[in-house]
A = this chain, B = another copy of it.
Amino acid sequence: MARERAVVLASGGMDSCVTIAIARQTHDISLLHLDYGQRTESRERRAFSDIADHYRVEHRLVISMEHLAKIGGSSLTDPSIPVSGADLDGKGIPTSYVPFRNANMLAVAVSWGEVIGAGAIFIGAVEEDSSGYPDCRREFYDAFEGAVRAGTKPGTHIRLITPVIRMTKREIVLTAAALGAPLDLTWSCYAREDVACGLCDSCALRLRGFRRAGLEDPIPYAARPDYP
């Protein structure tokens, strides 16, 4: 019997790489990469391609959403706003927040999913580790799933699956190891494209996750501070 088709949102980062590894166990996957004008997009896109090649997924779509950069309001897209240093225990919304970014991404994924007959969208959102982005919480996905139900054709039934949302970065690293996900191909740094900076929020969360998992991060860093 043919497996259900699913769209997996894949940034090229660690969380979406593990999400792909999980999704492909049950679904026939199509990979969607969204360029929203972030500083490190070309490196992230290379990571996306490398991961898609690794898993031999032919069905992929790269979409430019640079309008999110035009809207601005975020350090990831607006060069006049500096990238915050790591603040792993902070409760505030970091400057790297792109307003309502994941809703924009999900809307594209659902549009594509409806065209190709997908029954699910997988997204590697992580609630606990994600620096307080409001659209990384399961509550948001439940609400958005209601909008998908109400706003698509009667024959379309698309679930939003967030397999890593309750995981810590440590658990993501361990899951990747268990599933053989190629974390060496992923890219997480918000600041650099040659080697990871080791200093931005995203690097700090990643390095701490590896440390807590007792594993070595295989990618090169400019600096590797100890994040306890």
Taking Cβ atoms with an 8 Å cutoff, the residues of A that contact B are: 61, 63-65, 67-68, 70-73, 93, 97-104, 106-108, 110-112, 114-115, 134-135, 137, 139-140, 142-144, 146-154
Contact = CB atoms under 8 A, between A and B. Distances in A.
A147 B111 contact: no
A24 to B, nearest CB: 22
Given A71-B115, A135-B152, 16 more contacts: A63-B71, A71-B111, A72-B115, A99-B110, A99-B115, A99-B152, A100-B148, A103-B147, A104-B107, A104-B111, A106-B107, A107-B107, A143-B149, A143-B151, A146-B146, A147-B147
A19 B28 CA distance: 43
11 contacts: A63-B67, A64-B67, A67-B108, A71-B112, A99-B111, A99-B153, A103-B151, A104-B104, A106-B107, A140-B147, A143-B151
B108 A71 contact: yes
A101 B99 CA distance: 19
Name the prevailing secondary structure of the A interface residues.
helix
Contacts of A107: 100, 103-104, 106-107
A143 B134 contact: no
